[in-house]
Amino acid sequence: MIEVKQLSKRYGATVAVDGLSFTVEPGRVTGFLGPNGAGKSTTMRAMVGLDRPTSGEVLIDGKRYDQLAHPLRQVGALLDARSLNGGRTVRGHLQGLALSNRIPAARVHEVLDIVGLAGVAGKRAKGLSLGMSQRLGVAAALLGDPQVLLLDEPVNGLDPEGILWIRGLMKRLAADGRTVFVSSHLMSEMALTADHLIVIGQGRLLADSSVSEFIDRNARSFILIRTPEPEKMRSTLTTAGIRVEQGGDGALEAVGTTLEAVGALAAQHQVTVYEISPQVASLEEAFMQLTANAVEYRAQQGV
Ligand SMILES: Nc1ncnc2c1ncn2[C@@H]1O[C@H](COP(=O)(O)OP(=O)(O)OP(=O)(O)O)[C@@H](O)[C@H]1O
């Protein structure tokens, strides 16, 4: 479990993180979302002691990162895949990490297999593509078989097969009971991978909820109805207490109800319909709605 408690981080006049508090629970994938510059990387760096908070703290299983006896065995992090020492081989990089963290050398081969880099183990890290560097970063994060995993933009640079792989890996790690905390700019990716969301803007918490709750709360979903008898349909629905709005092209939009309810009312009152379909908002629409103010504020500030 990760507990972020009243975390603040300033860089000179810039407030990157501003009194942020949330908990990341084990056993599920938690997505970390926010517009550019919202403070995601700063928060993740503070989790592993790479950024010292101006105030507040982050606890991993009840302890600060610098209090962990075997950090790599408790927390695995993929923060900046390009930051590794390019002169070493893929295997050498992992062996060095294993040695300095008292992790058995045999584990290096295991993680190379898990991330699919066994075939390039002798290659210099600097010769790797971005996608392979990402895989090596994931291998390093998994090396200590930690219970907590932090992944900053892990799908960056991955091809479609790599994206499928990391998606499956994150779900498996969470199903194992581990804490998986992952940031991404790709809403469609988070919609498929995350069980829970933490959304921040300007360093502050905007949402802490399940993906479906987040969409329900922040975007509009409705039942679209096309009918040659719009007035009859409208009065049938409103009489049943259902809110109806006017859509484009003469369509009606029933809000806060179900496909079944609309279908049953249409049949009962013998209204002819050409189409009744649920229009579910995407995570992207919900995210844009929620963060619009934050982005606008930033644009006005010229940031
Ligand atoms: N080392 C630093 N020195 C000065 N300012 C910094 C530093 N690191 C981050 N910032 C600033 O802090 C704010 C938050 O940055 P951060 O990188 O944490 O955001 P982010 O949500 O990860 O953004 P992105 O999605 O663009 O990666 C930004 O305004 C950024 O310019």
Residue 293 has pLDDT above 90, yes or no: no
Residue 294 has pLDDT above 60, yes or no: no
Least confident stretch, 70-74, 196-200, 228-232, 296-300: 296-300
Choice from 14, 48, 185 to test ligand 1 binding pocket (greatest atom count within 8 A of CB): 14
Same domain? 225 vs 197: no
pLDDT at site 234: 97
Same domain? 31 vs 164: yes
Residue 51 covered by a domain: yes
**CATH, residue 102:** 3.40.50.300
Choice from 18, 32, 40, 287 to test ligand 1 binding pocket (greatest atom count within 8 A of CB): 40
Ligand 1 proximity of 37 Cβ (cutoff 6 Å): yes
Ligand 1 proximity of 38 Cβ (cutoff 6 Å): yes
Residue 301 has pLDDT above 60, yes or no: no
The range of the structural domain enclosing residue 243 comes to: 220-279
pLDDT at site 303: 42
Mean pLDDT across the chain = 90
Residue 186 covered by a domain: yes
Ligand 1 proximity of 16 Cβ (cutoff 6 Å): yes
How many angstroms does the Cα of residue 291 sit away from the middle of ligand 1? 17
Residue 100 covered by a domain: yes
pLDDT (average), residues 151-169: 90
Same domain? 8 vs 157: yes
How many angstroms does the Cα of residue 294 sit away from the middle of ligand 1? 15
pLDDT (average), residues 93-121: 92
Ligand 1 proximity of 291 Cβ (cutoff 6 Å): no
How do residues 34-49 score in pLDDT, each as one tens digit? 888 899 999 999 999 9
Residue 89 covered by a domain: yes
Residue 298 covered by a domain: no
pLDDT at site 5: 97
Same domain? 244 vs 98: no
Looking from the CA of residue 42, the nearest atom of ligand 1 is 18
Ligand 1 proximity of 279 Cβ (cutoff 6 Å): no
Q: Which residue has the higher pLDDT, 22 or 86?
A: 22
pLDDT at site 283: 83
Nearest CA to ligand 1 atom 28: 37
Q: Which of 209, 239, 270 is the last residue of a domain?
A: 209
Same domain? 235 vs 197: no
Residue 248 has pLDDT above 80, yes or no: yes
Q: Residue 20 forms beta bridges with which residues?
A: 7
Residue 43 covered by a domain: yes
Count structural domains, the chain.
2
pLDDT (average), residues 242-259: 94
pLDDT tier, 145 (very low <50, low <70, confident <90, very high otherwise): very high
Same domain? 123 vs 232: no
Same domain? 131 vs 76: yes
Residue 300 has pLDDT above 70, yes or no: no
pLDDT (average), residues 21-31: 97
Nearest CA to ligand 1 atom 7: 11
Same domain? 269 vs 179: no
Residue 16 has pLDDT above 60, yes or no: yes
Ligand 1 proximity of 39 Cβ (cutoff 6 Å): yes
Same domain? 13 vs 131: yes
pLDDT tier, 85 (very low <50, low <70, confident <90, very high otherwise): low
**CATH, residue 260:** 3.30.70.100
Same domain? 118 vs 160: yes
pLDDT at site 302: 45
Same domain? 32 vs 78: yes
How many angstroms does the Cα of residue 16 sit away from the middle of ligand 1? 6
**What contacts 195, CB < 8 A, 6 or more positions away?**
28, 29, 30, 174, 210, 211
pLDDT at site 83: 64
Residue 102 has pLDDT above 60, yes or no: yes
- What percent of the chain has pLDDT above 90? 68
Q: Which of 178, 209, 240 is the last residue of a domain?
A: 209
Same domain? 160 vs 76: yes
